[in-house]
Structure 1
Amino acid sequence: MKAAVKNKSEKGSLISFVALILSFLLMEMSIYAVNCNLHFEWTYDNANTPTLQGYRIYQGATQIAQIANSATKATDLVVDVVEGSNTFTMTAYDTNNNESLHSNEFPLDFQDPPAYPTGVASSNIGQTSITVSWAANTESDLAGYRIYRSTGVGAYSRIASTTTSVRTYTNTGLTPSTTYNYKVIAYDTTDANNDTAADFITYLAACSSISATTSANAVPAVLTGVAINDSANNSLVISWNRNNESDLAGYNIYRSIAGAAYVRLNSTVIAPAALSYTNTGLTQGTSYSYQVCAIDNASQEGARTTVSAVPGRPVTPQGLAAASGNRQVTLSWTSNKESDLSGYNVYLNSGSGSSTNVALNKTYTKNKVAGNGALLNGITTGFVDFDSFDQGGNFVVNLGQTYNISKIGLKFFDVLTSQRYYRYTVEVSANGTTYTQVINKSS
C-alpha cells in the first residue's frame, strides 16, 4: 500500500505526557499490498518512569501490538490496512499496567489497487509472436495496464505498459515451439511503479495467468484475391485464391452483422479446393462483413482479410433535385450508405410520358459527312453544333435499330443570332434507303 505519512510528537513523563516517536515509515511503499509492513521507531526517557514495562501500538481505537521495554525502541508490524485513512498512536505502560495518554496521531492514507483485468486471452499465435488481449477495467482513477511474461517456470518480468484505451499487446521476437506465460494487471494514478517491492511480488503472484506456445512452423500466408459478389437479393458470395502451402488444411470464414462481433460460419474447415463460400438467407439492406483466412494442419490460422457488402439492390437515391442553367441541367441527390455502392446511373426522359431519347449517343452525318459519333454533346448539354446547317442540307441520325416512335421533338437554335429555326422536314427509314416523310415544317 502507498501511504502518506504525517507525524507529530511530544516528550514527557508517563503520567502526563506520551512517548516520543521519532519516525514512522513503510518498509515497502507500493499500492499492491493487502497487508502492509510498517516500521515504528520511538524514543522515551526511562529515567522518568523507572517502572516502565513497555509500549502499546493502536490502529484507531484497536490495540494491534504490545512491545516489551528494551534498549531498542523499534519494531516491524504487518498491519491489515483499509482503503482510505488509517491512524496509528502509541502509549507506554508500567508494572501496574498504568497506561499513558495516547501519542499524537500518525495518519496514513491507503488506496487499494485496481481489480485484476478479466478476459485475458491469447490469439494470432505464430512462430515468433503472440497477441494478448483483455477486458476493460472500470475504475475512475485507472491509469493503464502492464503486461508481465515468464518463460516456462521462470520469474515474471514486465514487458510492456499500455494506456487505458489499449487492451491488446502483440509480443514479438519470440522463439518457435516455446511456451510463454502472461499476466496482465491494471494500475491507477497513485501507483508507485515498483516491481521489486515484496508486497507487489505477492500481489503479482495472486494474479491468474494464461499460457501460449509459439508454433514450430510458419502460419499460412494471407489469402489473395479475396472478393465479395452480390449475386442475388438475399445472398453474398465470398471468393479467394488458393494458398499453396504443403500443410494447408483449408479455410475459415467469419461474419459480422452490422458491426457486431465476428462469428465463424463454417462448422468444419473449408476444403483447400473450395475457393468460395455462399452465405444465404441474408436481409436486404443490412451490412455484412466477412473475414477469410487459411488454416494449416496444426490448426494455425493466417491473418484474416476483410470484405464487406450489402445484399440486394441499393435503395432508391433520396433528395433528387434539378437546377436549370444555360442549356444545361444540374442534378443533385443524397448519397447512399451501402458499403458496396459502386455508383449511380442517370436516365434522361425528354418529354412527357414514358418517351425515351433514342437518339442519344448515336452516330450521324450532315450533308453526307460523318459526325463525331454523338448527337448530343454528353448528357448535360443537350445540344449539338450543326455548323452551317442553316445553309440547307440533310442531317441523318443512325438509331442502330428499329424503334416504335410515338413522338419526335426537335429544337433548332442559332447560338450566334439567338434565333430558332422553324422550317424543316423529318423523314424516317427502316432500311436506310427508302424514306417516308413524317413531319413537314417547310413553310
Structure 2
Amino acid sequence: MIAGLLPQVSRGLHVSTAAAGWLISGYALTVAVGAIAVTAATASLPQKPVLVGLVALFVAGNLLSALAPGYGVMLLGRVVAALCHGSFFGIGSLVARRLVPPERASRAVALMFTGLTVANVLGVPFGALVGERWGWRATFWAITAIGAVALLAIAVLVPAWAGARGGRADLRTQLRAFRSTQVWLTLTATALGYGGMFGAFSYLAYTFTRVAGFSTTDVAWLLVVYGTGLVVGNIAGGRGADHNRDGTLLVSLAGLAVTLTVFGALASSRPASVILVFLLGVFGFATVPGMITRVTDAAGGVPLAASANVSASNVGNAVGAWAGGLVISAGFGYAAPLFVGAGIVGVGLGVMGVAAWGVVGGGRGMGVGMGTVARTGTGTGTGTVEGGATGGEGRRGTGVVEAREP
C-alpha cells in the first residue's frame, strides 16, 4: 500500500525519497527478524490469543503512522506493524490447516494467503486513491480501521479449539526441528523462488517503460494483471499441493524459471509482456501453500518453522532485488533482472529436486504429519497418520495428531 504513497509521505514529512524508501525496506527487514523472534517468544502460548495480539500490534503500528508528527515516529510505526507480519502468517497457517481435514491443508493455507494476494491487486490503487483524495494519513487511518475489524473477526469467529495450543514443545525442542535436512532444503528453495521472482518484480516498472515502451500510467494496470496472477496461482497451487505437493512445487518453479527467461527475451513486446507478467504472478505464488505445509510437516508442525518460511521469503526478496540492481548498475539493461531471476529460480528448482528426491528415496524429515482426529477428553492425542497427508508422498508415519472438533 505504501509504495503508491511514497512521494506524498516524502513531501509531508520533509525527507528525501531515499529516506522514505526505508519505510518499505525497514518493514521488510523487520518482518524477516520478527517472524522468528516473536514466534519464539510466544511458542508456549495459546495460538488464538497470540493471533489477536499480533493483529492488535498491526493496528497500533498503523495508528502510530497515521498520527506520526515526524519521520522517526513514522518509521517506528512501520517497524511495530511489521513485527506481527511473519508470525501472523506462520501461526495463522497452522491454525487454518487445523480447521480442515489433512487432505485439504494446503488449500486452507492458500485461502488464508488469498488476503495477501488480493492486497497486491487492490492495495496500491486503494492506498493511492485514498491518499490522493484525503492525504496519505487517511490511508493509514483506513488500514487501522480494517485491522480493527480483522481483530474483532478473529476474536469472535476463530474457534478456540483451533488455536488452543501453542507450540507442542518448548523453544529448545522447536529449535531441534531445524536439524532436519528437509526443513533447510525447503527454506532454501523458498528463499530462491521468492528471490528470483521479486528480484525481477522490483524493476518491472522500468522494464515496462524503458524496454517495452509502456507509459508510466500503464504501470498501475499492469501490476493489477500481475496481482491477478498471484490470486490464480495461490488457489491453483493450494489445490495442486493437496494432490501432489512436491510435484506441484517442481512444476511451479520450473514454470517460473521458463517464464522469467522468455520474459527477458520478449521484454520489448507489449502483448508478450502482458501475458508474461500474469504468468509471473501465477507460477511465482503457486509455490506458497505447498512450501508452508511442507516445511511445517518436515519440522513436525512447530510454529517456528512456518514463521521461518516467511523470513526465508523476505531474505530472498532482499537478495533478489540486490542482484537485479547489480546487473542494471553494470549496464546490462532493464531486462537483465529477468534473466538473473531465472537463474536464481533455476538454482531453487535444483534444491527442490534434491528435497523431493530425499523424500522418495527415504530421506529423513518428512515422516511427521499433522493430522486430525475427533476431539478427546483431554483435547490431544497421538496416533498413526499419513506422513505426507498434504504432500501426496503416500508414505505412513507416526506423529503427534492435532485435535479438532468432530
Shorter-chain TM band: under 0.3
The structure carrying a bigger strand percent of its residues is 1
Question: Which structure is larger by alpha-carbon Rg, 1 or 2?
Answer: 1
Q: Which of the pair is proportionally richer in helix?
A: 2
Structure having greater relative contact order (Cα 8 Å, sep ≥ 6): 2
Q: TM-score, normalised by structure 2?
A: 0.22
